[in-house]
Amino acid sequence: MSQDQSEKNSTFALGDATKLVHGGTIRSEFGETSESLFLTSGYVYQSAESAEARFKGDEEGYIYSRFLNPTIKMFEERMKLLEGADDARATATGMAAVTASVLCYLNAGDHIVSAKALFGSCRYVVETLLPRFGVEVTLINGSDLEAWKAAMKPNTKAVFFETPTNPTLELVDMQGVADIAHNAGAIVIIDNVFATPILQKPLEHGADVVCYSATKHIDGQGRCLGGIVLGSQDYVDDHLHDYMRQTGPSISPFNAWVMLKGLETLPLRVEKASANAARVADVLADHAKVSRALYPGRADHPQHELAKRQMKGFGTMVAFELEGGKAAAFDFMNKLEIIKISNNLGDTKSLVTHPSTTTHQRLEEEDRLELSITQGLVRLSIGVEDCDDLINDITRAL
C-alpha cells in the first residue's frame, strides 16, 4: 500500500479543488482509481511478534478501526490539506466533533467563553454539559469584541463560536476574538459549518481548532452523518488523540468514504449554491412581503465589511423575516413546491426551516428574541438547482 504523493511531490502549490480530488489518497496494490472502502473493524498480523510490536508502537500499521482505518485516514488527510491543519480526527457526527474538541482539552475548574448564538446542540454542550463536569461557562454576544474582552478570566482556557451564526447569519470577528483569547492564554475553537472550508479558513484568522459537521456541505447530499476536528500537532497529540482512541466517537469507514468522495465535488457544489443564495437574497430583499433579508454578501448586512475580510465567498444560507409572524412563515413554507421543509442544511436540495419552532424550540422565547429569532424568521439552505426555478418557487409562495 502506498500513499499517493501527488500533493507532496508536486513542484508547485496546489489549489483547493486539486487537493480535494487527489489529496491523501492511499492506493492498494490493485491500483484502483477511486478510493477504496476498507469496511473492516480489525486487522490481522503476520505473527504474534508483529502484534506485540504494533501495540508497543515499534511497528507502523493498523490495529483497530476505532482509532485508525485507511479510508478514514484518507478523509482526514484530505481535510488536513484543505484546511491547512497539522492533523485531524474524524468523528461519527458533527456534535461528536464539537463535544470532543472541548472535552478533550478542558478540565474541571477551567473556564470557557462562548458566543450565545450557536447551533442548538452546541449550546447544550457548552451551557449544560460542560458545567456538569466543573467547567465554568460565560455566554456572550459574539459580535461584540468588548464583551469577549470583559469575559476573560485567569482560568479561561478556550473560546468557542460559529461564524456566520445559525440562523441569523451574524458574524464574529475571528482575528479580533483570537487576539483577545490568545492574550488570555485561551485557545480558539471555531465551528465552521455555515461558512464551509471552501469559503472560510479559520486557521488563517487566528483559530487553533476547527470543527465540522461533515453531514452538511461535505457530504452535501443528505446521506451520512459525520464530523471532523482539525488542529495543531500538539493539540491532537496531547489532547484529541487519546480522547478519540479511548472514548470512541469514531466515524464508520463507510461514512468516511462517502465524505471523502463528497470532498471531490465540494468546491463545485459550494460555488453553485452560493451563487444561487446571493441571487435569492437579492430577490427576497426587494420583495414587499419581506421585512428584512439577511445575507453576509449583501452590502446592507451590518457586518458586510467584516464578511469581505474573513470570507472568500458568502455561503449557501439565507435568512429572512416575514411580517406576519409564524402564520405567514408556515403559509410560505407549505406553499413551496421545490424547496423542501427540513432542518438539515448544506444539501444539494434547497431546504427551508422555521427556526423558532424547530431547531431553536428548546430556548426560552426571551433567549430566542435576544438572538433575533422571531416567529417570522425563515431560514433557507440553498442548493444547486436552477436558480430561476428557486426564485419562481419563492416568489409564488410569497
Ligand X SMILES: *Cc1c(COP(=O)(O)O)cnc(C)c1O
Q: Measured from the CB of residue 256, what is the shortest distance to ligand X in angstroms?
A: 13
Q: Measured from the CB of residue 93, what is the shortest distance to ligand X in angstroms?
A: 3
Cα separation of 189 and 178, whole Å? Answer: 9
Helices (H), 84-202: 94-103, 120-124, 130-132, 145-151, 174-183, 196-199
Helices (H), the chain: 6-9, 16-22, 48-56, 70-83, 94-103, 120-124, 130-132, 145-151, 174-183, 196-199, 233-235, 241-247, 253-285, 304-310, 325-335, 365-370, 387-397
Q: Quick one: cell of 377?
A: 424568521
Q: Measured from the CB of residue 207, what is the shortest distance to ligand X in angstroms?
A: 15
- Give me the residue whose beta carbon is nearest to ligand X: 94
**What phi-psi label fits residue 68: left (phi over 0), alpha (psi between -120 and 50 degrees) or beta?**
beta
Is the CB of 129 or the CB of 397 nearer to ligand X?
129
Q: Please choose, from the candidates 191, 174, 175, the residue with its C-alpha nearest in 3D space to the C-alpha of residue 117.
A: 191
Is the CB of 225 or the CB of 290 nearer to ligand X?
225
Q: Measured from the CB of residue 344, what is the shortest distance to ligand X in angstroms?
A: 8
Is the CB of 210 or the CB of 225 nearer to ligand X?
225
87 strand-pairing partners: 231
Cα separation of 79 and 88, whole Å? Answer: 8
Is the CB of 98 or the CB of 203 nearer to ligand X?
98
Q: Please choose, from the candidates 103, 178, 185, the residue with its C-alpha nearest in 3D space to the C-alpha of residue 148.
A: 178
Contacting residues toward ligand X, per CB under 6 A: 93-95, 98, 119, 121-122, 162, 166, 191, 193-194, 213, 215-216, 225, 227, 345
> Across the chain, how many H-helices and E-strands are there?
17, 14
Q: Measured from the CB of residue 264, what is the shortest distance to ligand X in angstroms?
A: 20
8 A C-beta contact, residue 61 and residue 43: yes
SS (H, E, C) 199-242: HCCHHHHCCCEEEEECHHHHHCCCCCCCEEEEECHHHHHHHHHH
Pairing of strands 209-213, 187-191: parallel
Q: Measured from the CB of residue 254, what is the shortest distance to ligand X in angstroms?
A: 16
Is the CB of 62 or the CB of 257 nearer to ligand X?
257
Residue 127: DSSP 8-state: I
Cα separation of 106 and 85, whole Å? Answer: 21
Q: Measured from the CB of residue 343, what is the shortest distance to ligand X in angstroms?
A: 9
Q: Measured from the CB of residue 121, what is the shortest distance to ligand X in angstroms?
A: 6
353 strand-pairing partners: 379
Is the CB of 155 or the CB of 342 nearer to ligand X?
342
Q: Measured from the CB of residue 225, what is the shortest distance to ligand X in angstroms?
A: 5
Is the CB of 122 or the CB of 258 nearer to ligand X?
122
Is the CB of 217 or the CB of 239 nearer to ligand X?
217
Q: Measured from the CB of residue 226, what is the shortest distance to ligand X in angstroms?
A: 7
8 A C-beta contact, residue 213 and residue 97: yes
Is the CB of 152 or the CB of 220 nearer to ligand X?
220
Cα separation of 63 and 66, whole Å? Answer: 9
Is the CB of 82 or the CB of 100 nearer to ligand X?
100
